[in-house]
């Protein structure tokens, strides 16, 4: 009994030590530049501490392992998948800290599933009836695992995603049509084949929705779109995410 107790204490001290080192590396060293020195390490660490406490209380050894190692591993998964540059079309945009916390949930979900599957199998080998709590624990693990993956794959596009990773163009409004679209003269320094394009005003980001009454001929606008246009003359943008009027000098619209 004393030996088992000593092993458990060693596991707890070891996991806390490794977890603390991982947190320090992510929050106080050069690695912090990857996430912009944000509070992401603290947010994920709070989740990690709670998970470790649960693993200690219920003696979930695999969860202790995934909660300990998963913190730093999930961070590097986030660094690896973090989206840089422009994403055209429906390409998925990955944000480091969202990938980080989602991966960490996945790791912990796997840990919970493994622990309770092991407990259920042990009871079957011992020919003893399974406790309903073990099946509840297994369900929780599956729910966390599946829910994390599903939530990430179906996460909505945010305005921050659009402004950082979607193509944009600057131009001057030439005409405004009754069908909720407008003709825009594209700035000469834009790398676009057509100098005039039709821009639909039915934007995808509904929180910044616009109508033809929001613009006047001569306005300089910034258009975030999916990077594709049809072959008509004038060309027409297929999907528009957001349109903003630029409160800048018309002689220098890109300043």
Amino acid 30: pLDDT: 93
3-state SS string over 77-131?
HHHHHCCCCCCCCCCCCCCHHHHHHHHHHHHHHHHHHHHHHHHHHHHHHCCCCCC
CA nearest 184: which of 214, 224, 208, 217? 217
162-245: CATH topology is: OB fold (Dihydrolipoamide Acetyltransferase, E2P) (2.40.50)
Amino acid 4: pLDDT: 54
pTM: 0.85
Amino acid 230: pLDDT: 87
Amino acid 250: pLDDT: 45
> Residue 34: in which H helix or E strand, if any?
none
For the chain, the structural domain boundaries read 2-155, 162-245
Distances (CA, A) of 198 to 186, 190, 203, 239: 10, 15, 13, 11
Mean pLDDT by 10 residues, the chain (255 residues): 67 94 95 89 96 95 97 97 92 94 97 95 80 92 97 94 94 93 86 86 94 94 92 88 79 48
What lies within 8 Å, CB to CB, of 188 at 6+ separation is 195
Q: Which two tokens stand for residue 96?
A: 């480091």
């Amino acid at each position: 009994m004393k030996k088992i107790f000593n092993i458990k204490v060693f596991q707890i001290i070891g996991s806390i030590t490794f977890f603390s080192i991982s947190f320090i590396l992510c929050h106080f060293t050069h690695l912090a530049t990857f996430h912009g020195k944000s509070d992401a390490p603290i947010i994920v660490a709070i989740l990690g501490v709670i998970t470790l406490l649960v693993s200690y209380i219920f003696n979930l050894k695999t969860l202790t392992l995934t909660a300990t190692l998963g913190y730093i591993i999930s961070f590097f998964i986030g660094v690896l998948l973090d989206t840089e540059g422009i994403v055209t079309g429906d390409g998925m945009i990955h944000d480091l800290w969202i990938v980080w916390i989602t991966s960490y949930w996945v790791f912990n979900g796997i840990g919970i599933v493994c622990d309770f599957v092991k407990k259920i199998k042990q009871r079957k080998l011992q020919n003893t009836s399974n406790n309903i709590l073990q099946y509840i624990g297994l369900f929780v693990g599956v729910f966390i695992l599946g829910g994390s993956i599903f939530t990430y794959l179906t996460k909505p596009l945010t305005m921050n995603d659009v402004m950082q990773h979607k193509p944009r163009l600057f131009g001057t409004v030439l005409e405004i049509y009754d069908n909720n679209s407008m003709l825009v003269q594209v700035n000469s320094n834009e790398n676009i084949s057509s100098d005039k394009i039709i821009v639909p005003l039915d934007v995808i980001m509904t929180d910044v929705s616009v109508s033809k009454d929001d613009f006047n001929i001569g306005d300089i606008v910034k258009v975030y779109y999916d990077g594709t246009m049809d072959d008509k003359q004038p060309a027409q943008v297929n999907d528009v995410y957001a349109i903003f009027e630029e409160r800048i000098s018309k002689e220098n619209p890109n300043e």
